[in-house]
Amino acid sequence: MKEKQESSRRSFIKKLATTTAAVAAGTSMFAAEHELKPFSILKRPLGHSLNDQINIALIGAGGMGTQDAIVALQIPGVKLVAVCDLYDGRLKDAKTRWGADIFTTKVYKEILNRKDIDAVIIGTPDHWHQQISVDAMHAGKHVYCEKPMVHGISEGPAVIKAQKETGKVFQVGSQGVSSLGNEKAHELLKSGAIGELNYAEGFWARREPLEVWQYPIPDDASAQTVDWETYISNTKKRDYDSKRFFRWRNYTDYGTGMAGDLFVHLFSSLHFITDSVGPNKIYAAGGLRFWNDGREVPDVLLGTFDYGKSAAHPAFNLSLRCNFVDGTSGTTYLKLVGSEGSMDITWDKVTLKRNKTFGSDDPFYLDKLKKAGSGYAERKKMVPPEEIIYDAEKGYKGGPYDHMNNFFNAIRNNGKVTEDAIFGYRAAAPALLCNDSYYNNSPMFWDPEKMQLIKK
Ligand SMILES: NC(=O)c1ccc[n+]([C@@H]2O[C@H](COP(=O)([O-])OP(=O)(O)OC[C@H]3O[C@@H](n4cnc5c(N)ncnc54)[C@H](O)[C@@H]3O)[C@@H](O)[C@H]2O)c1
């Protein structure tokens, strides 16, 4: 692996050197080498195969489910025929948005029993993902399931089994995986652009009540407008509670905390970019510092993850942080750091930073070299560009569109998707184990290849 990486690193440096020389010489060669300009455009080739119409249904028509359906309907030949939700208001909204002839129900099995539906989008809270996914695939439907794929570590194998047994297309909804930005980062890492990977990180900074899961509760919310009994039928029995229904992310019976909600996106992107199957050691720290609104999950969470050496990558560490009381606010980035540079990765942009020189700028060290009479410190060098920005072409429809497009292309062409049940489980597991580590106050050990918890 090292030899392969060394040769691809040399090839990246060679390409970069050619461009740098062209820039220095002021030739038109630079224009031709658009892939290597310090500012470079990421392109997505167009092209859909427009075979038969695909009829879809949405199960869980809240914020994300609705957004997913809107994106799905941008794909030519896709039609929404039915919507399922447990709250009257959402079913009413669906009819207003998509027309009175949309079939609506509070019983997802009524959707699965319909013969005219080819695929379902599952946008329910996390505790319903596994059961509806498995039932849907066995009912002959293709499934687009929101992340995290499962609510508990023990739930993954059943989804993988259902996908294998039914042969249905199953895709998890971490959209970044299909984005131009993730693709470019994958290509750059393989070409040796940052040398040998040794560290990755991601950070979310939030402060506003809406951002930290204090969602508004509709005026008409009650046990009459919400099917509460169904909502809790696969978890602990409790009396009706609007907060537990509309602010479900704050409660462990339904949500998966910061790790399942946010970290999971970075695991998906990271695993795609590095071809990794996951970490083998997971440990978390954090606390509930500010949002004492009855939530059961921390509002500051740090996760640290050890990735062992594999055929695809060297050993590296991952650090993820989420702060819901961050007065500075900030942006979410996935950063990959290697021996020769780093990459900041978003869905439509990759900023590659490379070491300017490999020499030291430590004055003490340079003075020593000088005294040794090597002349090393005095000779100036040609330097490559320090920063190269790869930006998506204007009009790029974005990761969410690409992700939906990949889903429907796989259905139409009997193809495969990257973020299938195995991939989805390998992204969800370290996030869920991060929660386990936090609540158990101990590291968790995971075999990412076999997808098994290791008891120590
Ligand atoms: N991919 C992303 O970027 C992204 C972003 C936000 C949310 N999500 C995921 O999407 C899912 C939904 O999140 P949200 O923010 O839209 O929540 P939400 O509360 O806005 O919507 C959830 C909807 O599901 C309905 N519901 C609950 N149980 C149901 C059941 N058994 N059958 C049918 N409907 C049911 C609720 O009535 C509600 O309308 C979560 O899993 C979340 O992690 C993904």
DSSP letter at 417 equals -
In this predicted structure, what is the pLDDT of residue 377? 55
> Which residue has the least CA distance to atom 8 on ligand 1?
64
Q: Which of 66, 67, 85 to mutate to test the pocket of ligand 1 (most atoms within 8 A of CB)?
A: 85
Q: Which residues of the chain have pLDDT under 50?
A: 1-4, 17-36, 46-49
pTM of the model: 0.89
- Smallest CA-to-CA distance from 82 within 65, 105, 62 is with 105
Interval between CA 416 and ligand 1 midpoint (Å) = 25
Q: What's the pLDDT at 386?
A: 85
Tell me 142's DSSP state: E
Cis status of the peptide bond prior to 148, with omega within 30 of 0:
yes
Query: Does 108 contact ligand 1 (Cβ within 6 A)?
Result: yes
pLDDT per position as a tens digit, 325-367: 999 867 678 999 999 999 999 999 999 999 866 666 788 877 8
Distance 85 CA to ligand 1 centre (A): 10
Distance 249 CA to ligand 1 centre (A): 10
Q: Does residue 85 have its Cβ closer than 6 Å to ligand 1?
A: yes
Residue 102: CB partners within 8 Å, gap ≥ 6?
A: 80, 81, 82, 83, 94, 95
Which of 88, 127, 146, 215 has the most ligand 1 atoms within 8 A of CB, as the residue to mutate? 146
In the chain, the percentage of residues whose pLDDT exceeds 90 is 80
Q: What is the pLDDT of residue 231?
A: 98
Residue nearest to atom 40 of ligand 1 (CA): 125
The pLDDT score that the predictor gives to residue 47 is: 44
Give residue 368's pLDDT: 79
CB proximity list for 271: less than 8 A, separation 6 or greater: 277, 278, 423, 426, 427
Query: Does 419 sit in the ligand 1 pocket, CB within 6 Å?
Result: no
Closest atom of ligand 1 to CA, residue 64: 16
pLDDT tens track for 33-78: 334 455 667 766 544 445 589 999 999 999 999 999 999 999 999 9
